[in-house]
Amino acid sequence: MTPELRPAFIELSLSNLKKNFQLLRRISGTSNFFCPMVKANGYGHGALVITRALEEFGAKQVGVNLLEEGIELRNGGIRLPILTFGSFERSQVEILRQFDLTPVVHCMDQLTALDALGRQNMKIHLKFNTGMNRLGFDENEIPNVLKFLKSRSWLQVEGVATHLLQGEDALHSDGHTARQIRRFHQIQEALSAHLSPTYFHSLNSAALINYGSSQKDLDQTGWRGELGSRPGLSLYGIHPNLKTKIELLPVMQVKSRLVAIREVRRGEVVSYGGTWSPPSDALIGVVGIGYSDGFRRALSNRASMLFRGRRVPVVGTVCMGLTLIDLTSMKSGSKMELFEEVVVIGQQGPECIRCEELADLADTIPYEILVGQSERLPRKILEPG
């Protein structure tokens, strides 16, 4: 076995990923378009390992943002269709073809850039803006889009997409989502006389869970059942902030090890800036993870970690590769050993630290905690999916 080279690592439960995938696919309607999102290094989990697993579980396509993310997957042997939702320009169009990436085209510049392909067939998706005002054609551009496509039959519109700005409110008939979905339906109707895309897709995790698990509300929202989904966060076991709950299981655990143990006397201070001082003589553990690994500096003096199945507070300022924890309450137990395990995110004994907890403490969202996990942390696969 290769020795561990660093005292921090990520454990991935592919069997939890599989359960989340199956549950989400079921509530999205098994015949509907379903595109797991693996952008930003698979939401920080490791794009390749996650996509290989999804391919095995029966995913029909995956979504990324950047061209380089698509290239990484192709170079890693992924054969599934890969939708790229981000930007590209004329000089990069050849890359789309070379790596067989399916662009989700959001503006006229991108459409015209595809002319550089010559007359070779390419599947594309079109993205429309229905209220988020980030990426996407506006409804009034439809005539131009159709005119452009009419003379370019080699561009095959396989799908039409929009993106929701607040899937959390999907069950309110006057919420952002309901309004966006109504606009999306109008766009579908305007296109239907001219194009026959196989897929329409719009639902992120929050909207999918809201709609998919509340069948009785579907009619009220005007949802027609043909809207596909592109879940990201929920796939990785993090529940969007909703009243409706489904059983999602975390895929990622972050762990580290004690790299030093020291006594610190009352009145002394610890770590940069001396922001913490023990109320009485203390036993301090130094953990081999820091903000360069993704354990955010904002968690200084706020977060807890798990040691021997108990919560212990993070004390002092989080450093680049080290974080200090107060082990004083555990002094009476058996002797502490260097390299004992410390759980940063995950379960240990009866205790659990969830990514949502760290996000709250760092005044951010779980997405940022997940994608902030450094690519340098080794990913260990816990068990086959």
Site size toward ligand PLP (CB under 6 A) is: 10
The rounded distance, in Å, linking the Cα atoms of 222 and 96 is 36
Examine residue 44 and tell whether it contacts ligand PLP (CB under 6 A).
no
Alpha-carbon distances, residue 303 vs 30, 274, 337 (angstroms): 40, 17, 23
Provide the 10 A C-beta neighbour count for residue 234: 25
- Compute the C-alpha angle 63/194/116, nearest 5°: 55
Examine residue 163 and tell whether it contacts ligand PLP (CB under 6 A).
yes
Using the rule CB under 6 A, give the single segment among 48-56, 229-237, 264-272, 316-324 that binds ligand PLP.
Answer: 229-237
Q: Which of 205, 210, 256, 328 binds ligand PLP (CB under 6 A)?
A: 205
Q: Which of 37, 48, 342, 359 binds ligand PLP (CB under 6 A)?
A: 37
> Given CA atoms 21, 22, 23, 27 in this order, what sign does their dihedral have?
positive
Q: Tell me how far, at minimum, the Cβ of 88 lies from ligand PLP, in Å.
A: 15
Tokens of 168: 């959390």
Query: Which one is catalytic: 39, 43, 127, 291?
Result: 39
Q: Tell me how far, at minimum, the Cβ of 370 lies from ligand PLP, in Å.
A: 9
Query: Which one is catalytic: 147, 150, 245, 272?
Result: 272
Strands 122-128 and 101-105: parallel
Q: Tell me how far, at minimum, the Cβ of 233 lies from ligand PLP, in Å.
A: 4
Site for ligand PLP in 348-377 (CB under 6 A): none
Asked if residues 71 and 47 have their Cβ atoms less than 8 Å apart, the reply is: no
Q: Tell me how far, at minimum, the Cβ of 79 lies from ligand PLP, in Å.
A: 22
Q: What is the contact mask toward ligand PLP in residues 303 to 322, using x (rule: CB under 6 A)?
A: --------------------
Strands 155-162 and 379-381: unpaired
Q: Which of 176, 230, 255, 257 binds ligand PLP (CB under 6 A)?
A: 230
| Closest CB to ligand PLP among residues 251, 312 | 251
Q: Tell me how far, at minimum, the Cβ of 327 lies from ligand PLP, in Å.
A: 36
| Closest CB to ligand PLP among residues 42, 232 | 232
Using the rule CB under 6 A, give the single segment among 47-55, 151-159, 232-240, 316-324 that binds ligand PLP.
Answer: 232-240
Q: Which of 23, 122, 233, 303 binds ligand PLP (CB under 6 A)?
A: 233
Examine residue 231 and tell whether it contacts ligand PLP (CB under 6 A).
yes
Contacts of 62 (CB under 8 A, 6+ apart): 35, 36, 37, 38, 51, 54, 73, 78, 80, 81, 82, 83
Tokens of 321: 């590769």
Residue 380 known to be catalytic: no
Alpha-carbon distances, residue 362 vs 142, 270, 303, 368 (angstroms): 43, 20, 9, 10
Examine residue 180 and tell whether it contacts ligand PLP (CB under 6 A).
no
Percentages of the chain per state (helix, strand, coil), in multiples of 5: 35, 25, 40
Report the SS3 class of residue 338: coil
Examine residue 204 and tell whether it contacts ligand PLP (CB under 6 A).
yes
Q: Which residue has the tokens 């009866």?
A: 350
Q: Tell me how far, at minimum, the Cβ of 39 lies from ligand PLP, in Å.
A: 7
The beta strand positions in the chain, using DSSP E, are 8-12, 62-64, 82-84, 101-105, 122-128, 155-162, 199-203, 227-229, 252-264, 282-287, 304-307, 310-315, 323-326, 341-348, 351-353, 379-381
Q: Which of 175, 232, 290, 372 binds ligand PLP (CB under 6 A)?
A: 232
Asked if residues 19 and 43 have their Cβ atoms less than 8 Å apart, the reply is: no
Residue 123 known to be catalytic: no
Site for ligand PLP in 68-87 (CB under 6 A): 85
Residues assigned a catalytic role: 39, 272
Q: Which residues bind ligand PLP (CB under 6 A)?
A: 37, 85, 163, 204-205, 230-234
